[in-house]
């Protein structure tokens, strides 16, 4: 699947549902599907809510299954931001003692097999991969 959403304002739900409806993910066991969904929601919500000062802009999403690995690539031309640069939260602290933010991308790094970020041609690019060869 390859799709561009422009503008993205108010389209978080539609983007997430499009990604989760791809056959490679839709037919996975429930627990694995929910882990992937959480990661997709985290990235989409962050881009929709924070990438563009005006709240409008585009997001391109591309998914593929190759050699048993499901890959999703998110691209936006919003404010340059590498979520992987942020330190992982100290999950040994109570919720009250932890600073707000950072838990979502931490969960993505824990649940996915590979997460990478780079900035190219004026765009943020975040790629996540999950091995699903035993489930398809």
How does pLDDT run across 45-98, given as a tens digit for each residue?
Answer: 999 989 998 768 999 999 999 999 999 999 999 999 999 987 765 566 666 766
60: nearest Cα among 122, 110, 129, 136? 122
Domains of the chain with bracketed CATH: 2-131 (3.30.565.10)
pTM of the entire structure? 0.89
Instruction: Please state, in angstroms and rounded to a whole number, the distance separating the CA atoms of residues 85 and 19.
Output: 25
Structure tokens at 10: 């108010």
Q: Parallel, antiparallel, or unpaired: how do β-strands 123-131 and 114-120 relate?
A: antiparallel
């Amino acid at each position: 699947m390859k799709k561009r959403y422009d503008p993205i304002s108010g389209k978080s739900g539609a983007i997430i549902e499009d990604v989760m409806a791809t056959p490679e993910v839709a037919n996975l066991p429930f627990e694995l599907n929910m882990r992937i969904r959480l990661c997709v929601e985290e990235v989409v919500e962050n881009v929709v809510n924070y990438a563009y000062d005006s709240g409008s802009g585009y997001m391109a999403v591309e998914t593929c299954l190759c050699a048993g690995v499901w890959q999703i690539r998110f691209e936006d031309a919003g404010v340059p931001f590498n979520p992987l640069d942020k330190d992982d939260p100290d999950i040994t602290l109570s919720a009250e003692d932890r600073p707000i933010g950072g838990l979502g991308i931490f969960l993505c790094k824990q649940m996915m097999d590979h997460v990478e970020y780079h900035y190219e041609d004026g765009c943020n690019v975040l790629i996540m991969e999950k091995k699903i060869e035993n489930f398809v």
